[in-house]
């Protein structure tokens, strides 16, 4: 039986395993996907807003020639960290439920990619799952069409196509800039008065220049109300509607953490924000011995916890576990 079972092999889960291991606690990580799967799902050529230093875990330097790393560099870095610490990781094994046993330990029921069901037992459990498996759906007619995606990987498949982007965040702006480079006709639709104030400062002026030149058509204070095979309907706040020709829709409306595992384990949730109740000094939830780390500790706004903030959760957890056992 491990001292700590960590569910989720993202940067925050890796950090928790490292911090626990430094304090002599035995750990295992399980993940229904591969190592740092959320980063793997980022756009192929994405550059982080954060500096390399802010993404470091386990006191392993993230050495780069550039200040801000790209996706592939981050993938290589976290593989290096996992290898350096010889972390005990079982990929492609999903935690399906968490059971608190009479003696206070935990039994975590799992399912492997092959469908084989099993379980792990541990004295403590850390839930550090991500959110990319659960996009925020708009709930409009046509959203389930094959032409619609909530993920943007790279621009090539959309070359020369009439493409609409729903959203005004970094992901939407980055996608728009990549799409115009391959000759796509790009329309951005966003319900806000202006794109997010958190847009990367080195990208914003380039985006605004493309809008001013007409390379990107920007509809602010607007929303897509219907998606059809060859067109979309855009409604503005004053009630007017536009119908434009369209081949593909990128609904980049963000993602949300999955709460089912937390709820099944008996953790109390804040009803308004769907946020787990936990002690911010220890990250322990209302179920003794069950902790949260990373974005799963956030509310509906998954952007309130980033790698640079979530990476410290592991240290808080490890220190609390050592204190409890002493």
Residue 73: which CATH number? 3.50.50.60
Do 6 and 129 fall into the same domain? yes
Do 65 and 173 fall into the same domain? no
SS3 category, 204: helix
The verdict on residue 97 lying in a domain is yes
Of 308, 293, 264, 282, nearest in space to 126 by CA: 293
- Give the structural domain span for 237: 148-251
Do 289 and 321 fall into the same domain? yes
Do 219 and 163 fall into the same domain? yes
Do 104 and 154 fall into the same domain? no
φ, ψ (nearest 5 deg) of residue 152: -120, 120
> How does DSSP classify residue 29?
E
Q: Per-residue confidence at 216, pLDDT binned at 50, 70, 90? A: very high
Do 15 and 76 fall into the same domain? yes
φ, ψ (nearest 5 deg) of residue 82: -60, -40
* Mean pLDDT within 79-101: 95
Q: Which of 222, 251, 280 is the last residue of a domain?
A: 251
φ, ψ (nearest 5 deg) of residue 316: -60, -40
Do 116 and 157 fall into the same domain? no
Does position 271 have pLDDT exceeding 80, yes or no?
Answer: no
The verdict on residue 140 lying in a domain is no
Distance CA 171, CA 152 (A): 8
Q: Are 126 and 95 in contact (CB under 8 A)?
A: no
The verdict on residue 139 lying in a domain is no
145-183 confidence digits (pLDDT tens): 999 999 999 999 999 999 999 998 888 999 999 999 999
| Token couple for 94 | 């999903």
Q: Which of 228, 251, 274 is the last residue of a domain?
A: 251
Q: What is the value of pTM for the model shown?
A: 0.86
pLDDT at 31 (0 to 100): 95
Do 243 and 104 fall into the same domain? no
Q: How many helices (H) and strands (E) does the chain have?
A: 8, 17
SS3 category, 173: helix
Do 71 and 160 fall into the same domain? no
Sign for the CA dihedral angle at 45, 303, 41, 312 comes to: positive
The verdict on residue 320 lying in a domain is yes
Residues 6+ apart with CB under 8 A from 200: 47, 49, 170, 173, 174
pLDDT at 290 (0 to 100): 96
The verdict on residue 142 lying in a domain is no
The verdict on residue 240 lying in a domain is yes
The verdict on residue 301 lying in a domain is yes
Average pLDDT, the chain: 90
Q: Are 89 and 79 in contact (CB under 8 A)?
A: no
The verdict on residue 138 lying in a domain is no
Do 267 and 236 fall into the same domain? no
Domain count for the chain: 2
Do 300 and 244 fall into the same domain? no
Distance CA 83, CA 33 (A): 18
Do 231 and 304 fall into the same domain? no
Q: Which of 251, 275, 309 is the last residue of a domain?
A: 251
List, as one string, the DSSP characters of 47-92. B-SS-GGGG--TT-----SSSS-BHHHHHHHHHHHHHHTT--EE-S
Task: Please name the residue that has the structure tokens 């993404």.
Answer: 55
pLDDT at 273 (0 to 100): 55
């Amino acid at each position: 039986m491990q001292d700590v079972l960590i569910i989720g092999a993202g940067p925050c889960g890796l950090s928790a395993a490292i911090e626990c291991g430094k304090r002599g606690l035995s750990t295992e990580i399980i993940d229904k996907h591969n190592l740092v799967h959320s980063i793997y799902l980022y756009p192929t050529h994405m550059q982080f807003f954060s500096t390399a230093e802010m993404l470091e875990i386990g006191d392993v330097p993230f050495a780069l020639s550039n200040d801000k790393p790209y996706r592939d560099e981050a993938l290589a870095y976290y593989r290096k960290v996992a290898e350096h610490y010889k972390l005990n990781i079982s990929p492609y094994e999903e935690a399906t439920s968490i059971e608190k046993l009479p003696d206070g330990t935990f039994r975590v029921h799992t399912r492997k990619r092959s469908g084989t069901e099993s379980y792990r037992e541990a004295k403590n459990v850390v839930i550090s799952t991500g959110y990319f498996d659960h996009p925020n759906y708009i709930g409009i007619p046509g959203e389930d069409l094959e032409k619609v995606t909530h993920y943007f990987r790279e621009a090539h498949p959309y070359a020369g196509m009439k493409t609409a982007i729903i959203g005004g965040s970094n992901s939407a702006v980055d996608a728009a800039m990549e799409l115009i480079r391959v000759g796509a006709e790009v329309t951005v639709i966003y319900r806000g008065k202006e794109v997010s104030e958190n847009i990367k400062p080195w990208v914003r002026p380039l985006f605004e220049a493309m809008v001013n030149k007409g390379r990107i058509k920007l509809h602010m204070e607007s929303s897509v109300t219907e998606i059809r095979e060859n067109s979309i309907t855009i409604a503005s706040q004053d009630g007017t509607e536009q119908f434009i020709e369209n081949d593909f829709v990128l609904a980049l409306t963000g993602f949300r953490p999955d709460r089912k595992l937390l709820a099944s384990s008996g953790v109390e949730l804040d009803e308004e924000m769907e946020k787990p109740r936990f002690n911010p000094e220890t990250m322990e939830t209302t179920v003794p011995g069950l902790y949260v780390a990373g974005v799963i500790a956030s509310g509906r706004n998954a952007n309130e916890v980033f790698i640079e903030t979530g990476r410290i959760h592991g240290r808080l957890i490890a220190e609390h576990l050592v204190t409890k056992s002493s």
